């Protein structure tokens, strides 16, 4: 069987298993459903990317403030679960794979009073399969079959806002207190050798080439750090080592590209004087850890993925050009929102990231300095 066909078949099998269990749950649960007054078991159901997952922390914090004794469970991609080993805000993070949902411990959880679906509404079916008695999600997702299990639909903010704050708006009540690093215990640390301070983490990888900064500018930034006694160290994903070679062809600086787990990356960032990264999950991880972080925005929105109210006390700077002419798409999680300005184009539609070219080295250096890090 061709690989693509096998993948489609696996996705269908996984979804079919979720939907069949959800239908049985709905049939056994009866027709009448009502919003819980004091939920004791709460599910956050999703399978988002790393950055979007970390931005849900505001929602978790708000749930914990409103329901201090509740068992809060987050369903999330398996790779991210170790980051939650310290149970931030008392959440239990359970990794799962949509291709084989029954293989995960999550499948053995059931009987939730309340479920929140912050991204793709198809995960409302997962919530129903796990026996959720009341399911809340954002309005506007398509097709309509995704919304069938949902009991309560909320609209996205009508004013520009960070998605982390919008996600917290899935439940009523005042916003959560601003994030502090002590709210998230560090995951277990292994014996991996880390650099000796002071050092700067330059994470050059991104989910798409359209979010990548040019190798020449990364090279120049590394030289600026090295000249003032701060060791630049490279970070990137397993398949992004060529990006490091392009930025540092003579291998002058240490590279951790493709060698660290997410928990190891946490500790690398935690010991750094500063983290510089494109608009990726790693930039959000820097905010969680509490390390001074500079995020470079090209196609993404510095408003939607920015600090917002929840992360406002974290040492963070966004470097972007706003407005940028072709950052003009208004879709967020398949919903069209009037104030959104972002770009989700592919390489076929946009062969070169002019928006990232517009992020100048001097602007990044200025942002680093504004965080109290001395760089020439």
Whether residue 25 has pLDDT greater than 90: no
Classify residue 282 as left (phi > 0), alpha (psi -120 to 50) or beta.
alpha
- Specify whether 206 is located in the same domain as 277: yes
| pLDDT band at 11; cut points 50, 70, 90 | confident
Tokens 């059931």 sit at which residue?
110
Residue 191 lies in a domain: no
124-156: pLDDT as tens digits: 999 999 999 999 999 999 999 999 999 999 999
pLDDT mean across residues, the chain = 94
Domain residues for the domain of 217 are 199-370
Nearby residues of 201 by Cβ (< 8 Å), 6 or more positions away? 233, 235, 268, 269, 272, 274, 275, 276, 277, 291
Mean pLDDT calculated for residue range 161-183? 97
Q: Are 161 and 308 in contact (CB under 8 A)?
A: yes
- Specify whether 95 is located in the same domain as 126: yes
Q: Is the peptide bond before 323 cis (omega within 30 degrees of 0)?
A: yes
| pLDDT band at 4; cut points 50, 70, 90 | very low
- Specify whether 46 is located in the same domain as 160: yes
Mean pLDDT calculated for residue range 336-350? 95
CA distances from 296 to 95, 355, 359 (A): 29, 10, 7
Residue 16 lies in a domain: yes
Q: What are residue 42's DSSP bridge partners?
A: 72, 114
Q: What SS3 class is residue 123? A: helix
- Specify whether 134 is located in the same domain as 216: no
- Strand blocks (E) in 146-187: 152-154
Predicted pLDDT at 3: 43
Residue 4 lies in a domain: no
Number of separate domains in the chain:
2
Residue 272 lies in a domain: yes
Residue 334 lies in a domain: yes
Show which of 112, 145, 177 is a domain's final residue: 177
- Specify whether 229 is located in the same domain as 365: yes
N- to C-terminal Cα distance for the chain?
Answer: 57
Which range (95-104, 184-193, 338-347) has the least confidence? Answer: 184-193
Kindly report the pTM of this predicted structure.
0.95
Q: What are residue 233's DSSP bridge partners?
A: 201
| pLDDT band at 31; cut points 50, 70, 90 | low
List the structure tokens of 191. Answer: 């014996």
Higher pLDDT: 31 or 299? It is 299
Whether residue 348 has pLDDT greater than 60: yes
Closest CA to 114 of 100, 131, 102: 131
Residue 28 lies in a domain: yes
Task: Give ∠ CA 130-136-140 in degrees, rounded to 5.
Answer: 120
Mean pLDDT calculated for residue range 193-218? 96
Q: Are 124 and 118 in contact (CB under 8 A)?
A: no
CATH number for position 75: 3.40.50.2000
Whether residue 193 has pLDDT greater than 90: no
- Specify whether 224 is located in the same domain as 164: no
217-230: pLDDT as tens digits: 999 999 999 999 99
Closest CA to 228 of 252, 199, 248: 199
Residue 325 lies in a domain: yes
Q: What does DSSP say about strands 335-336 and 293-296: parallel, antiparallel, or unpaired?
A: unpaired
- Specify whether 106 is located in the same domain as 224: no
* 213-216: long-range contacts, CB 8 A cutoff, minimum separation 24: 213/278, 213/296, 213/356, 213/359, 214/356, 214/357, 215/243, 215/246, 215/247, 216/247
Residue 363 lies in a domain: yes
């Amino acid at each position: 069987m061709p690989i693509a066909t096998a993948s489609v078949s696996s996705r269908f099998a996984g979804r079919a298993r979720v939907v069949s269990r959800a239908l049985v749950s709905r049939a056994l649960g009866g027709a009448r459903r009502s919003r819980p007054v004091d939920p004791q078991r709460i599910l956050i159901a999703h399978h988002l990317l790393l950055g979007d997952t970390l931005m849900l922390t505001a929602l978790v914090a708000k749930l914990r403030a409103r329901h201090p004794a509740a068992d809060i469970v987050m369903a999330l991609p398996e790779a991210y679960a170790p980051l939650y080993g310290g149970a931030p805000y008392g959440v239990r993070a359970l990794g799962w794979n949509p291709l084989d949902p029954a293989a995960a411990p999550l499948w053995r959880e059931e009987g939730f009073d309340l479920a929140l679906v912050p991204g793709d509404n198809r995960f409302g079916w997962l919530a129903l399969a796990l026996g959720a008695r009341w399911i809340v999600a954002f309005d506007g997702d398509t097709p309509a079959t995704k919304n069938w299990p949902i009991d309560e639909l909320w609209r996205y903010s009508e004013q520009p806002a960070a998605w982390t704050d919008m996600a917290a708006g899935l439940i009523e009540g005042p916003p959560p207190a601003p994030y502090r690093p002590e709210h998230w215990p560090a995951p277990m640390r292994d014996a991996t050798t880390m650099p000796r301070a002071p050092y700067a983490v330059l994470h050059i990888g991104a989910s798409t080439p359209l979010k990548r900064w040019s190798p020449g500018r990364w090279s120049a930034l590394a030289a600026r750090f090295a000249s003032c006694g701060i060791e630049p160290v490279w970070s990137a994903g397993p398949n992004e080592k060529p990006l490091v070679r392009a930025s540092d062809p003579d291998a002058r600086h240490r590279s951790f590209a493709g060698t660290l787990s997410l928990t190891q990356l946490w500790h690398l960032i935690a010991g750094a004087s500063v983290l510089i990264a494109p608009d990726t999950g790693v930039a959000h991880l820097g905010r969680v850890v509490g390390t001074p972080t500079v995020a470079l925005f090209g196609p993404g929105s510095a408003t939607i993925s920015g600090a917002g109210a929840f992360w406002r006390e974290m040492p963070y700077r966004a470097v972007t050009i706003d407005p940028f002419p072709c950052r003009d798409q208004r879709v967020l999680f398949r919903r069209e929102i009037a104030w959104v300005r972002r770009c989700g184009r592919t390489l076929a539609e946009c062969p070169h990231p002019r928006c990232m070219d517009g992020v100048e080295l001097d602007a990044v250096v200025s942002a680093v300095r504004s965080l109290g890090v001395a760089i020439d």
